[in-house]
Amino acid sequence: MTWKLAYHANCWGPLGGDAVGVTSVTRLAYRTFGDMARAARDIAAAGYDGIEFFDGNVLDGAGDDYATIRRILAETKLALVALYSGGNLIFPDILPEELARITKAADAAQALGAEHLVVGGGARRFDGTRPADYDALASALDKVVTIAEARGLRAQYHPHLSTIVENPDEVRTIFEKTGIGFCPDTAHLAAAGGDVAAMVREHASRISYVHLKGWQREPFAFTPVDVGDCDNGAVIRALKDIGYAGWVCNELDSWPDPIGAARESHAFVTSEAARG
């Protein structure tokens, strides 16, 4: 089994968002506070064919037809595989603002030839999650599907620690309510107590894009794909068993040697995918 491998650019600087989003929801986007040109050069040098960016790093250049990102992609010959966005997605008063921002990300993804629009979210309330929050999230995610499909994109939901979709039961709950695709992030699912390989098999029909990431329990940290307490080898075997044939995006949050981690993860996935 040979997969096309991508890498997320979020490892080349601190992760964050836009402070203005505290008072203007439409302006709140993810971003990596780092050099995206350097990230792309390193990702290409590590052997990858594609790249994923946070929405904020691409929307920075929206006024000039994304000229900066176009130049980076042209120089490195990387395919833009996905943009990542997100929101609270359960509060009706701000949902139009969040969807307007996600629409901008989808417009950028379409203009730059991406295949996927990935969203995370589903806010945990200060006083606890309400059952209706899953219905609200599912409805918002179906709206994201409409936004993506109108632009020729595949919409993916990315369960994430700190949201209302972390553990296997919560994942099962949301995918019973929405038609969006499932982008498993192996580290987040493992950290929430999931058997990620089993989850891949259970939700096989929903998976058309994958994030592989390592995670260690003590001390808590995200790691290269082959390091820590998340059995990504078992996940790769599960992906092979279900006949997965899409992009695999290795990912790692801030790391002292980002290109070294990218190479290490690439070698591991390539080796595991080639096993009989």
Question: How far is the C-alpha of 85 from the C-alpha of 217, rounded, in Å?
Answer: 27
Task: Tell me the whole-structure pTM to 2 decimals.
Answer: 0.96
Q: Render pLDDT for 157-172 as a digit per residue (tens, 0 to 9).
A: 999 999 999 999 999 9
Are the C-beta atoms of 190 and 205 separated by less than 8 Å?
Answer: no
Q: What are phi and psi of 6, to 5 degrees?
A: -125, 170
Domain boundaries, the chain: 5-274
Residue 209 has pLDDT above 90, yes or no: yes
Are the C-beta atoms of 199 and 168 separated by less than 8 Å?
Answer: yes
Level-2 CATH architecture, domain 5-274: Alpha-Beta Barrel (3.20)
Burial class (CB in 10 A: 0-12, 13-18, 19+), 243: exposed
Confidence of residue 254 (pLDDT cuts 50, 70, 90): confident
H or E stretch at 5: strand 5-8
What pLDDT does 21 receive? 85
236 three-state secondary structure: helix
Question: How far is the C-alpha of 70 from the C-alpha of 61, rounded, in Å?
Answer: 10
Question: How far is the C-alpha of 246 from the C-alpha of 190, rounded, in Å?
Answer: 21
Confidence of residue 22 (pLDDT cuts 50, 70, 90): confident
